[in-house]
Amino acid sequence: MPYWDSLYTAGHTSEPSPFAVHIADQLPADASILDLGCGNGRDSCHFAATGHFTVGLDESAAAIESAERLRDMIAVPETTCTFEVADVTDPDVIERGLQQLPAHLPRVIYGRFLLHSLEPRQARSLMMGLGSKLEASDTVYLEFRTDEDSELPKVYNHPRHFVSLAHFHEMARDARLHVNLMACGRGLAPFRDEDPMVARVKVAYSPMVSIGQGLKAVAVTSSTA
Ligand SMILES: C[S@@+](CC[C@H](N)C(=O)[O-])C[C@H]1O[C@@H](n2cnc3c(N)ncnc32)[C@H](O)[C@@H]1O
């Protein structure tokens, strides 16, 4: 059984991640969210439970089954929170996902701990897919493990493709994505005994993007976010 199917079949925390809680606090009241690599839907369900229209996509069928169970358990209506098995490195999947979001609501594309779960060529394909399908008014929030996390202790050991900040900026530039905000450090994604080194980024599509334009980098050593 593939790794993610076994993890979600065995069961995983249904608590929203600190990143989702942080983002949900900042969103306009009626945003619509496309959650890429949504896993068991813990973050999607948090967004939906806090009033946002949400679509979660994941390539693991076990993850999606578990996301649907969580949604039903917390009584979020299926009309505002749907899940689908899909490979988000396919640009057509991104396009179809975006089309499912109501046109009148501000669109947010969210991906937590997805980027480092992808092979480098898939990560590039995802970024290029975003760059080719987004509109300037869309906002993307990503959280991922940086290369500085590679040697730190882990709760789960499985293949990861840690992302260097330089490589992320290169992919963003090539996809014409503008990095508006980046925070890096530990203290952002604690999980049991683990305190990984992660980056959080806020990105927007910009046909006129140039390297470093408007970039605000914030080093974080600890946070309650
Ligand atoms: C580390 S988990 C993160 C799950 C969730 N975002 C969270 O924070 O709880 C990575 C997820 O990405 C999914 N994933 C990996 N490659 C994918 C792909 N090509 N398309 C869609 N989902 C993918 C996995 O199935 C897994 O659920």
pLDDT on residue 224: 44
- 72-100 residue pLDDT tens: 999 999 999 999 999 999 999 999 999 99
Structural contact between residues 47 and 33, judged by C-beta atoms closer than 8 angstroms: yes
Give me ligand 1 centre to Cα 17, in Å.
Answer: 14
Q: What is the mean pLDDT of the chain?
A: 93
What residue ranges line ligand 1, CB within 6 angstroms? 4, 17, 37-39, 42-43, 57-60, 63, 87-89, 112-114, 117-118, 122
Q: How far apart are CA 9 and CA 180, in angstroms?
A: 37
pLDDT of 57 over the 70 cut: yes
pLDDT of 23 over the 90 cut: yes
**Residue nearest atom 12 of ligand 1, based on CA coordinates:** 37
Token pair for residue 126? 């995802």
Whose structure tokens read 């900026």? 169
User: Best of 114, 115, 192 to mutate for ligand 1, by most ligand atoms within 8 A of CB?
Assistant: 114
Give me ligand 1 centre to Cα 30, in Å.
Answer: 25
pLDDT of 22 over the 50 cut: yes
- 106-155 residue pLDDT tens: 999 999 999 999 999 999 999 999 999 999 999 999 999 999 999 999 99
Structural contact between residues 134 and 108, judged by C-beta atoms closer than 8 angstroms: no
